């Protein structure tokens, strides 16, 4: 790959593109996996650099900082409620109650009747 300096986007030369086209599909998939890992590594390095910078600035300003891992918040909650006649209708118990459950409660059933 060619590069004028570290901060410019690198472009493949036509010769490099031709080399890529000579690879088999499995070789390209293997290369793509390695590139994906390299990207994740670079993202982690950048994130750590930003954390260090923020900590340094906070320390200079005599401010305490605390970091939260947002990735861990993305975990899907387990299904809490399921419609007995249509198992595809579920609710995790968060947010707005689904219409099917509202309708069942309006018919006199209890929310707990649908608890898994």
Query: Looking at the 3D structure of the chain, how many domains does it have?
Result: 2
List phi, psi (to 5°) of 18. Answer: -65, -40
Q: Which among 88, 91, 109 has a CA at the least distance from the CA of 99?
A: 91
* pLDDT, tens only, 64-94: 988 877 666 667 789 999 998 898 999 999 8
Band of residue 24 on the pLDDT scale cut at 50, 70, 90: very high
Counting residues of the chain whose pLDDT is more than 90, the rounded percentage is: 67
Assigned domain for 46 exists: yes
Assigned domain for 56 exists: yes
Helix locations, the chain, DSSP H: 14-22, 25-60, 70-73, 99-106
Mean of the pLDDT values across residues 35-40?
A: 95
Assigned domain for 8 exists: no
Q: Are residues 55 and 81 in the same domain?
A: no
Assigned domain for 69 exists: no
Assigned domain for 7 exists: no
Cα–Cα dist 24/16, whole Å: 15
The domain containing residue 84 runs over which residues?
A: 76-114
pTM above 0.85, yes or no: no
Q: How many CA atoms lie within 13 A of 99 on its CB side?
A: 0
Assigned domain for 66 exists: no
DSSP, res 78: P
């Amino acid at each position: 790959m060619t590069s004028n300096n570290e901060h410019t986007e690198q472009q493949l030369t036509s010769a490099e593109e031709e080399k890529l086209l000579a690879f088999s599909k499995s070789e390209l998939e293997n290369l793509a996996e390695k590139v994906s890992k390299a990207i994740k590594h670079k993202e982690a390095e950048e994130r750590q650099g930003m954390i260090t910078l923020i900590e340094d600035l906070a320390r200079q300003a005599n401010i305490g900082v605390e970091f939260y891992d947002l990735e861990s918040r993305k975990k899907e909650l387990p299904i809490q409620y399921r419609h007995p006649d249509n198992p595809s209708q579920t609710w995790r118990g968060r947010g707005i109650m689904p219409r099917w459950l509202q309708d069942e409660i309006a018919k006199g059933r209890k929310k707990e009747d649908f608890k898994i």
